Amino acid sequence: MANDYDVPAIRRTHDILRVLANRRAPVKAAELAQACQLAKSTLYLLLDCLEQRRWIERRDGGYIVGLELMALGFAYLRQDGLQAAFQQTASAFVARSNEVVQLAVLDGFDVVYLAREDARRPVRLVSDLGLRLPAHACALGKALLASLSPDELHACLPAALPRVTDRTIADMAALNRELDDVRRSGLAQDLEEVATGLVCYAAYVGVTALGKRVAVSTSIPTDRLDDARRLELQEGIRRVARDLALRVLPAA
């Protein structure tokens, strides 16, 4: 549904913060003005207001996301008791399997990574917290998309499916077949569809009392997988999803 009312100051603030969030280094005011298409007088007024509230900070002649904004953002995880419940269930999986566990939410057609419990050994990861990925490309996204009703799925599907690697599903019919498989098995997977040499398995958790549609996954380099290990990890991530659901989903 289209927005019927727009507050320009909030929209401009949002644009500034999105630019800063997508950069790894401080962004200079001139670059922000160009990226957000703002007059310098308007931009500096907004920057000063945001800096006073510590939503942004000045560093090396530019601006970065501030500490207060990070603290406010983490409230999203504390709601529903999601953060504490995830840490408990994920750490049990890591203790058993010594592989990473990730938690993500569906936002439109994007997967947004919320939390991660790391294994006690290096792993090639693409799941920085706050990272967005197209849902059709990753196991977490497939688990979440498969949980939608046909109308909900149709409403969020883009006109075209972008490729992340050459193995990413880019055909709508193929995606629908895969989502049917996820619904039957209760398990989603991506086979090097987000990162070459990395396989992921995911399971749907459910919708929390505050409306977060969440799933969990584990990511494993292909050189650590054999048939026995694959089955162990698939069942393990299903167990994480079941245990987390018992902790955070509303009682039936």
Can you give the CATH number for the domain in which 26 is found? 1.10.10.10
State the average pLDDT over residues 130-157.
93
Q: How far apart are CA 119 and CA 97, in angstroms?
A: 8
Quick one: 221 and 121 in the same domain?
yes
Average pLDDT, the chain: 90
Quick one: 181 and 152 in the same domain?
yes
Q: Which two tokens stand for residue 217?
A: 């996954």
Quick one: 30 and 138 in the same domain?
no
Quick one: 61 and 87 in the same domain?
no
Q: How far apart are CA 210 and CA 116, in angstroms?
A: 21
Give the model's pLDDT for residue 2: 47
Q: Which residues pair with 110 in a beta bridge?
A: 107, 134
Q: C-alpha distances in angstroms, 125 versus 15, 121, 174?
A: 28, 12, 26
94 pLDDT above the threshold of 80: yes
4 pLDDT above the threshold of 70: no
Q: Sort 118 into a burial class: Cβ within 10 Å, 0-12 / 13-18 / 19+.
A: middle
Q: Which of 16, 47, 65 is the last residue of a domain?
A: 65
Quick one: 183 and 103 in the same domain?
yes
Quick one: 59 and 135 in the same domain?
no
Give the SS3 label for residue 201.
strand
| CA-atom Rg of the chain in angstroms | 20
Quick one: 17 and 122 in the same domain?
no
**Mind listing the pLDDT tens digit for each residue in 20-32?**
988 889 999 999 9
Residue 236 lies in a domain: yes
Determine contact, residues 18/132, Cβ cutoff 8 Å.
Answer: no
Q: Which residues are within 8 A (CB) of 104 and not within 5 positions of it... i.e. 6 or more apart?
A: 111, 112, 113, 114, 127, 140, 141, 144, 214, 215, 216, 217
Quick one: 128 and 225 in the same domain?
yes
Residue 21 lies in a domain: yes
Residue 142 sits in a domain whose CATH number is 3.30.450.40
Residue 1 lies in a domain: no
CB atoms within 10 A of CB 140: 32
Q: Give the 3-state secondary structure percentages of the chain, helix then strand then coil, rounded to 5.
A: 50, 20, 30
- Structural domains of the chain, count: 2
77 pLDDT above the threshold of 80: no
Hey, which bits of the chain come out as E strands? Answer: 56-59, 62-65, 101-107, 110-117, 132-134, 188-191, 198-207, 213-221
Give the model's pLDDT for residue 23: 86
Residue 34 lies in a domain: yes
Quick one: 201 and 144 in the same domain?
yes
Q: Which of 65, 82, 106 is the last residue of a domain?
A: 65
Quick one: 232 and 114 in the same domain?
yes
Give the model's pLDDT for residue 123: 60
Q: Which residues of 58-89 are buried (b: 16+ CB within 10 A; e: fewer)?
A: eeeebbbbbeebeeeeeeebeebebbebbeeb
Q: Which two tokens stand for residue 171?
A: 């055909």
pLDDT tier, 126 (very low <50, low <70, confident <90, very high otherwise): low
Give the model's pLDDT for residue 5: 75
Quick one: 12 and 80 in the same domain?
no
Residue 110 lies in a domain: yes
Domain range spanning residue 114? 74-248
Residue 3 lies in a domain: no
pLDDT tier, 14 (very low <50, low <70, confident <90, very high otherwise): very high
Residue 126 lies in a domain: yes
pLDDT tier, 1 (very low <50, low <70, confident <90, very high otherwise): very low
Give the model's pLDDT for residue 252: 64
Give the model's pLDDT for residue 122: 66
Residue 94 lies in a domain: yes
Q: Which two tokens stand for residue 11?
A: 């929209």
Quick one: 127 and 26 in the same domain?
no
Q: Which two tokens stand for residue 101?
A: 């566990």
Residue 96 has φ and ψ, to the nearest 5°, of -80, -45
Give the model's pLDDT for residue 172: 92
